[in-house]
Structure formats: structure tokens, C-alpha cells
Structure 1
Amino acid sequence: MAELPLVIDLDGTLLRSDMLHEASLRFAKRSPWRIASLFGWLARGKAYLKEQLARQTPFDVEHLPYNPEVMELIEQHRLRGTPVVLATATHRLHAEKIAAHLQVFDRVFATEHDCNLGAEAKRDLLVREYGEKGFDYVGNAHADLSVWASANRAYVVQPHSGVERRAKALGNVAQVFKSADHPLKNWLKALRLHQWLKNLLLFIPLFAAHLADDPQKLGQVVIAFLLFGLCASSVYILNDLLDIDDDRRHPRKCMRPFAAGKLSIGSGLLAFPILLSVAFVGAWLLLPPLFSGAMLAYYLLTLAYSLGLKRVMVVDVITLGLLYTLRIIAGAFVLDLQPTFWILAFSLFIFLSLALIKRYAELREARELGKMGRASGRDYFPADLEMISSIGTASGYLSVLILALYIQEISQTALYRYPVIIWFACPLLLFWISRAWFLTHRGLMHDDPVVFAAKDRISLITGALFALVFWLAA
């Protein structure tokens, strides 16, 4: 008896993503001034929207997040001689490109012209081609229920809420594939709560002004820390969406939730404006207006970085240094303080050094993998490593010089009781910066030095001693 054809859905099934969302995101990124066109095309029907996106947004399908369990199921059936068919509501231009890449399909049915091949339209086509109960079907969504009802066997993959129960009620479910990852875990990873460590910079003006013993001031900074964290998480989600193609080509970043398809692009497009709105409404209601202004500057600069500045040599690392410095400025504005020249200059130089460490680590890894061309999404080559190292170490040492000049300045004031003790902070900072660069040269540095420092025992001890010096001086 001949094997019944195995029909595979694409969006959310073979692919841990949705091609309409993928294409729309790329179109918006390439032509942000034409976003309104999407709504005009949609008004003429979903099939027309998909055709326009397919024609105007070509992209590489090699690194899309394919579901390995579905690929394994396909391979098992191919070994038995089963015909394998791709049937998808994705436009034919994209579907055929994916089929050509995977080379596992005998036929391809897809959306084209004015026919959107979804739900009942897909069922009717498959019944015409293979007959009622003449095929097996692999899907994931509510729209697939009508197709499963006409299939011989149903395979349910990463089902949407309520889909598994309704599919099993049809009585022909052969197998259910479920992810071991909990959505909450993926969301926590996407929000990058560990990156909120950087927002501790908001507390620096509080301690520098010796106001940490004021409960009201401390409470304001805590609120600012939380709101700034929400704003930062919104930025991280948007950045992950905009960087999704580059991340999928990166050996580690390809596991980020949106790049790996563990979270949908649609959910990200919904989450980031909600987080951003909560952050700014909270700041407007609870904190001084200048804090909202600083946070807005941070957001706009980060957006500019994501959209283009990160691809401009040197401008990218200066921008990262400014983003760190903006956190300190925001912390000062919470307390109605003016950031001093010393703290701004120190911040800019030390964080420029850390940004260059980040670039050095990325390029060193690329060189070890044999990639000698331009880094993906960056304006650097592995041959630039020596120059980056020179500028980075010089910038770090300049921050130590600024600290020394600051100590000389405050020695004439009453801000510290024993300002001479602060001199001990200089060798501590010299040690930490030098060690960080040595570790980076040896390939032992995490590509984010701030996260590395938060986990590194010697860095934590050095930081504690640094804080102790200022406490004894006060």
C-alpha cells in the first residue's frame, strides 16, 4: 500500500516563526518611511499584502529558525518513501525559496495571486488533490483544525493555546510535539534583567553627593532604577527584532529568544511599546521632568544606534560610552543635581574602554573562526584588533588620570574628611582595567564586560575595595 503524503505547514510548524511577520519586519527596517504602505496593501487583501512583501523584501532563508523535530519527522517519512508536501499560507516566492534550500519537498502549495492559502482554502485544495482522509497533516494553530479534520493522521507541533485539546477531539492525532522551554523563561531572557546591572549607575550621583542616608532620595532613585530598567528592556526587545538576521548568523546570539523563534516576532512588536509606555508614564507621574528627558535621550540614542550608528566605525563605541553616561546624568536629574565635569569625563572614558573591550572580544572570536572579512553588522575587520586594543587601553588609563585630577580638586574642599585616602582608588582602577584587557587578549572576556565583571570574583572584590576607599575617605 502506498504511503499517504505527509503535508507540512510552514508558519509555526516547520518554521519557528511566521513569514508574514518576518517579511513585514524586514520591510519596516529597510523602508521605515513606507510602513503606511503595509496597511494599504492589507486593505486589498492578505494575499496582496504577502505578494508585495515577497516581491519587495527578498532575504536569505538559510538561517531561519527551522524546527528540528519537524525536520526529523520529514526525514523519517522520506526514508519510507513517503511523498512530502509543503502547504502554506506564505507567498509562493518565499515558500519555493525555502523548499529549494531544504530540498525535502516533492510539491509546494502556497499563497499566490489573490488566493490566500489558509484554513479552509488549504483544506479544500488538499482534498481536491489527495481526497478526504488521503493525506497526513502537520500543523500548529487554530486555522489548522479544519485541515486536520480532513486528514488521515494529525501531527500537532508547538500548539497554540487550546489547539491540542480541540485537535485531540477529532480523534486522529498521531503525535504532539511540545517545547521543553517555558515561555516565562524565554521572556525573562528577552527582557535581559541581568543587563539592569548597568542601571545601577543611576545610584552614583546619590552616593557621590552623600545622600544615601536620605530615605526619600533613596526611594526616588530606586523608582528611577525600575523605570529605567523597563525602558532598557523595551530597547533590548526592539534591538533583538531589528538585529534578528545578524543574530541568527552569530554562534551565541542565534539562541536569543526572537532569533531562535522561541518567542514570536508579533509578541515582541506588542511587548516593546507596552514596556516603553509604562516606563515613561511612571517617570512623568513620579519623578522630576528632567529624568524623563534623560530617559528619552537614552531611548532615542539607543534607537539611532540600533538603526545605523552601530554600523559606523568608532561612532558605535562612542555611542555606547554616551549611553552609560546618560544613566549617570539621569540619576543626577532624579535628585535635582547637576552632573559634574569630573564624573561625566570619567564615565565617558572608562565606558569607551569597556565598549572597545566588547568589540575586541567579538572580533577576536571571528578571527579564531577564520573569518577575516568585515564583521557581521559592524564596520570592523579582525585586522583592526591591535588598533582597538591601543585605543581601549589608552581610554581606560585616561579615566584613571581623570580620577587622580578629581582627587586633587576635592582636596581643597570639605566634601571628604580624608580625601588623601581616595588615592588608593587609582591603583585599584589601574589593576582592574589592565586585568580586563589582558583577559580580553587571552579570549577569556565575555563579550559584555559589565556582565563579566558582575560574575567575576576578582572584579567584585576590586569593586568592594574601591567602594571601601571612598567610604573611609568620607
Structure 2
Amino acid sequence: MADKKVAKPLVLDVDGTFLRTDMLFECFWAGMGKDPIGTLKASFAHFRAPARLKAELAEIAQLRTDLLPVEEEVLDLARAAQAEGREVILASASHEPLVKQLAADHDLSERVFASDGVVNLKGKHKAAALVEAFGESGFDYGGNAPVDRAVWDHAEGALVVGDEASARAMEDKGKSVTRVTGGWRMKDVMKSFRPHQWVKNVLLLVPMIAAHAFDAGTLVAAVLGIIAFSAAASSIYLVNDLLDLEADRLHVKKCKRPFAAGTVPIQVGMASFFVLAAIALGVAASLSWAFLGVVAFYMALSLAYSLKLKRLRWVDIAMLASLYTLRVVAGAAATGIYVSGYLLVFIFPVFLALGCVKRLTELTLATSDERLPGRGYGRPDRPDLLNVAGIGVVAALVSFFLYSFTEQALGLYKTQWLIWVAELPLAWWMIRMVRLGWYGKQDYDPIVFAMKDKRGIGLMLITIAIMFYAAGLWQEWFGM
């Protein structure tokens, strides 16, 4: 801003301007994580009274404003204004105590303008309050949305974040405009879907592979099932990230996730959830009612996990194993293939072990002995997690061995003893995964790690090759 304006305060909107997020939605999701019933009650009761709603949600959420992502370019402009001796003031429609807390976090003026539980300080209400305090054109104002035009009309200079149409409109009125790019990118929205996690849904192919059903119709149904499950999983990942904002911001790597870092607005994440959920349920319904039921149950169970169960020690690991096992059940429902109980009894302990590996890895890579943010585990739990992982490995291998004596196995596999041989590379793979988790030498998600681990992939391919040879498939396909 020009020198003649040095004495005038710089007033900054908070949501979407000073912050790369919105405190109302931050409070909503923090409240959903702490008291979902109370949060939903407050939201429905005060939907038409935004000032009251913000006050109620702020009380439930107890938001840590020091962790909220800041628009760095706006913060730099604020620091430059302070260096010139100007007062930098926050003016927001968010609840007043939160705005005061945020101002203190960043050493801004103690004087703030905000909603008080009665008046929602937005648009013309904010403009009137600022004109009363500083006079017409007695301040510069930074905002990010068309609603801020009511304030810019009474300000001398306009700092516009991301709203190019408003920037041009203010220039047409003769205002001095400073632009900050702001905004979000579709690339970051796609990142929030965690597409790298979709690889887990190859588990839907397990029933098809186990039954040796490789016809085109079965394959198409399985692929459609994978698409539906990927959309369903991504919709839940969005909810999980929104519920975990505070924990993610305290995490050495997860702090870079789109919502935690503020690169994607929470509102966009909420809209994306509904779109992905609709795709998942729509595709599932096109396959079969049974598959639709599995997908709906998976989504409900995943929501319960995100809201509460993931914070309960040991329960969270059992839930992780159940969610992975459901993918195998989903593959059977999508393709109409019968799944042996032994297969499920084998799959569950495998993923119980991998759930322990996930927590072992997090604890090994943690920078302190404190409990993991949003989880119930600390480093003293590592030996117990290792023991449970070992139990999972043994249970899986015993189930695999017992399966070889079932009528289904004897009908599918011509050479029974080769099934026992196939257990050797399988056991090596599982023990190796547990060992790598114990030493913190893999990704935070063991399934994603397994899909990139060349040695592990080799062991699994050897296992599958032996099983196929035992079934006589190599001979049938290649005359071997």
C-alpha cells in the first residue's frame, strides 16, 4: 500500500483470506470427532442462526487455532504492514473468542471484529462495524469472496485473495487492489481421494483367483466392483481426513494432506464425499443387491471407524482387519462366486497382522514417546503389537494348511503337497512384513508398501505360481 496510507489499519478477513480454511467448518468437523451427536444437534437446531451456530460449535470443538493453515502471502503482507507501524486487525464472521485466539497466535492486534453469538458479522454488518470504528475509507481491507464487496466499497485499499471478479470490480470503482492468488487445484482434490490406496481393492479379485474363474464376465464384474469400492473408500478417506485435521497437523507427514495443509477447502471435500458416495452406490446397485449391501455396510463401518473406533486400542486393529476382509466378501458378491469360510479365516488374521504392522511402523517412526495423535498407542505398546502380529501370522498359516484338506481345495488342486510348499514363500512374506514394521522400514500403510515392494511382490508371485501349478493351470494354459 502507498505511504500515505501508513497510519490506516489493515483489516483482514479470516476464513479464506488470512487462513487457508474456514473456522466454521473446522469447528464442525472437530466437533464431529469429539461429540458427533451434540454437533449434529447444534447444526440442525441453529442452521438458520449462523452466529448462534458458530458459538455452539466453537464450544464443542475447542479448536486449536495455532494449528490452522495460514495464507503465507497474506501473512507476509501483514508483517510488512506491522513493520510500517500499522495496526493489523482480524475481522471475521467466525466466533469472537476464536478470532481473538487466532490474533494472539500470530501477534496481531488485540482488537478484533467478529460474530458474538447474536450478530453474524458478515457483509454489510462487517462494513458498518468497520466504518463506525475507522470512518469511511479509513482502513484497507483484505477479503476473498463476493460478499466482501460490501466492505471493500467502504475501504480505501482492497487486498483480494483468489476472487478475480471482485478484484476487477474494485478496480473499476477506482480502488487500489492488491491481488493474492489463493484458490485450490483439482490436482490437490484428486490427491485427497488417495488414489494410491485404490490398489488395496485388488483384494476383490481374490475370490475370482481362488475359484480359478477367469472368464470375461466374471472379470468385468470384478473390475466394476473395484471401481465402486474405490469410490466408496475415497469418500470415507475424505471424511477420515476431515475428522483428523488436528491429529494430521501434528503428524510429521500427514500435515501435508490437502485439508490439513489448507490446499483444498473443507467445503470442496464435503461436496466430493457426496459425489463419490453416489458413484459407489450407483455402480454397486448396477451389479447386484448383495454387492450394494456389502458396499453400504463397508461405508457405514468405515464411518464408525473414523468417528470413534479408530481411537480405541486393539479395537482399531480388529476393525482394520475387518475392513480388508470385507473387500474379499465384496469381490464374491460382485462376481457371484462362493467364498470358502477357510478363505475368510485365512484372510482376517493376515490383515490383523498387517494392522499391527501399521501401528508398529507409526510408533517406530514417531519422534517422541507420547501416544500417537488420535490413536491410543505409545511406544511401550510395541512388544504387544509384535505379539499380536505373530499370532496373526501363525493363525493365517494354520488356516491355509487346514484349507488344503477341504473338499473345495481337493477339487481345485490336483497336487495337494504343492499347496504346502506354497506356504513357505507366503510365510516368508508375512514374517518379512512384520520385521520391516518393527524396524520402521516401510510405508505408514503396509498394503500400499506391499504393492511397491519388489521383493515382497516376488514372494507373492512365487506363491501364486506354485498354487496355479498345483491346480494344473499352467499345464492347461501353456501345455507345461
Cα drift, residue 23 of structure 1: 2.0
Describe how 1:336-415 pairs up with structure 2 within 5 A.
336-366=336-366, 369-370=367-368, 372-409=369-406, 413-415=410-412
Matched with 2:218 is 217
Matched with 1:75 is 79
Q: In terms of mean alpha carbon deviation, does 448-457 or 396-405 score higher?
A: 396-405
Contact kept, 8 Å, 1:199 with 1:229, in 2: the verdict is yes
Which secondary structure state, in structure 1, belongs to the residue aligned with residue 413 of structure 2? coil
Distance in 2 (CA, whole Å) between partners of 1:452 and 1:164 is 46
Q: 1:54 to 1:113 in 2, by over 3 A?
A: same
Q: 1:278 to 1:161 in 2, by over 3 A?
A: farther
User: With structure 2 as the length reference, what TM-score do the two structures score?
Assistant: 0.91
User: With structure 1 as the length reference, what TM-score do the two structures score?
Assistant: 0.92
**Structure 1 unmatched ranges of 5 or more:** none
Matching residue's letter, 1:222: V
Matched with 2:192 is 190
Q: CA RMSD in A?
A: 2.2
Matching residue's letter, 2:282: V
Distance in 2 (CA, whole Å) between partners of 1:364 and 1:154 is 49
Matched with 1:320 is 320
Contact kept, 8 Å, 2:318 with 2:352, in 1: the verdict is yes
Distance in 2 (CA, whole Å) between partners of 1:100 and 1:215 is 63
Q: 1:164 to 1:207 in 2, by over 3 A?
A: farther
Contact kept, 8 Å, 2:353 with 2:389, in 1: the verdict is yes
Distance in 2 (CA, whole Å) between partners of 1:42 and 1:113 is 13
Contact kept, 8 Å, 2:184 with 2:263, in 1: the verdict is no
Matched with 2:246 is 245
Matched with 2:426 is 429
Contact kept, 8 Å, 2:123 with 2:150, in 1: the verdict is yes
Matched with 1:177 is 180
Q: In terms of mean alpha carbon deviation, does 15-24 or 231-240 score higher?
A: 15-24
Matching residue's letter, 2:80: Q
Cα drift, residue 194 of structure 1: 1.3
Q: What does the per-residue CA deviation read over 1:242-264, in whole Å, with 9 as the maximum and x for residues that have no partner? A: 22221122111111111222222
Cα drift, residue 337 of structure 1: 2.9
Distance in 2 (CA, whole Å) between partners of 1:386 and 1:7 is 54
Contact kept, 8 Å, 2:201 with 2:230, in 1: the verdict is yes
Describe how 1:52-71 pairs up with structure 2 within 5 A.
52-71=56-75
Q: What does the per-residue CA deviation read over 1:388-413, in whole Å, with 9 as the maximum and x for residues that have no partner? A: 11221331233223223323446972
Matching residue's letter, 2:268: S
Distance in 1 (CA, whole Å) between partners of 2:442 and 2:411 is 40
Whether 2:270 is the aligned partner of 1:266: answer no
Q: What does the per-residue CA deviation read over 1:167-205, in whole Å, with 9 as the maximum and x for residues that have no partner? A: 4444435432225x8621111111111111111111111
Describe how 1:101-180 pairs up with structure 2 within 5 A.
101-157=105-161, 159-160=162-163, 162-179=165-182
Contact kept, 8 Å, 2:100 with 2:110, in 1: the verdict is no
Distance in 2 (CA, whole Å) between partners of 1:57 and 1:314 is 26
Matched with 1:33 is 37
Matched with 1:282 is 283
Q: 1:335 to 1:46 in 2, by over 3 A?
A: closer
Contact kept, 8 Å, 1:313 with 1:379, in 2: the verdict is yes
Distance in 2 (CA, whole Å) between partners of 1:50 and 1:127 is 24
Aligned residues: 466
Distance in 1 (CA, whole Å) between partners of 2:36 and 2:325 is 29
Contact kept, 8 Å, 2:91 with 2:126, in 1: the verdict is yes
Distance in 2 (CA, whole Å) between partners of 1:59 and 1:149 is 32
Contact kept, 8 Å, 1:410 with 1:419, in 2: the verdict is no
Distance in 1 (CA, whole Å) between partners of 2:450 and 2:363 is 20
Contact kept, 8 Å, 1:411 with 1:420, in 2: the verdict is no
Matching residue's letter, 2:395: L
Q: 1:301 to 1:114 in 2, by over 3 A?
A: closer
Q: What does the per-residue CA deviation read over 1:294-353, in whole Å, with 9 as the maximum and x for residues that have no partner? A: 222212221221121112111111111111111101111223233212211110111111
Which secondary structure state, in structure 1, belongs to the residue aligned with residue 339 of structure 2? coil
Matched with 1:309 is 309
Contact kept, 8 Å, 1:393 with 1:433, in 2: the verdict is no
Distance in 2 (CA, whole Å) between partners of 1:410 and 1:425 is 19
Matched with 1:96 is 100
Which secondary structure state, in structure 1, belongs to the residue aligned with residue 460 of structure 2? helix
Distance in 2 (CA, whole Å) between partners of 1:81 and 1:105 is 12
Matched with 1:206 is 208
Which secondary structure state, in structure 2, belongs to the residue aligned with residue 375 of structure 1? coil
Q: 1:255 to 1:163 in 2, by over 3 A?
A: farther
Matching residue's letter, 1:21: F
Matched with 1:42 is 47
Q: What does the per-residue CA deviation read over 1:349-387, in whole Å, with 9 as the maximum and x for residues that have no partner? A: 111111101001111222xx12x2332222222111112
Q: 1:85 aligns with which of 89, 112, 119?
A: 89
Contact kept, 8 Å, 1:83 with 1:106, in 2: the verdict is no
